[in-house]
Amino acid sequence: MMLGKFEPRRSASAAGMDAFDYGLAPLLPNGQHISDVLGDAFLEAEGLTRDGDDIDRDYASIIFAWCESLYRAGVQVIRSSWATSSSISTTTTKPSASASGCHDRQRSEPGR
């Protein structure tokens, strides 16, 4: 994905972060944790946009899309499976090749 001169902090993604932090997080039982995880992911995506290669920017665009969806859809996003999985996550990591749908030889061998 070509982000060009995309400025994450002046985007709908940043507006989604603000909407979540100030409007939705206080209403959720685990809202502060979700806010922290999403904030860390946003900062990582911002760094990938600035310093990364094309694949890193692809990863960043996925994070920005989630943040933007908070701006556009609000509480409906919180009801998604993403919110459930992020509420139990304690770290933010870069997806591995196998997590992005690529098959490595070890995973495709029967019995492993």
Give the pair of three-digit tokens for residue 91: 């770290």
- In this prediction the pTM is 0.63
Whether 82 is in a domain gets the answer: yes
pLDDT, averaged across the chain: 74
66 and 12 in contact (C-beta within 8 Å)? no
Whether 63 is in a domain gets the answer: yes
41 and 76 in contact (C-beta within 8 Å)? no
Cα–Cα distance, 48 to 78 (Å, whole number): 25
Domain with 75, as residue range(s), is 29-87
- In the numeric block, the tokens 């919110």 are attached to 83
Q: How many domains does the chain have?
A: 1
Q: Give the pLDDT confidence score for residue 75 in this predicted structure.
A: 67
Splitting the chain (112 residues) into consecutive groups of 10 residues, what average pLDDT does each group show? 70 90 88 92 92 91 90 74 53 42 36 40
Whether 43 is in a domain gets the answer: yes
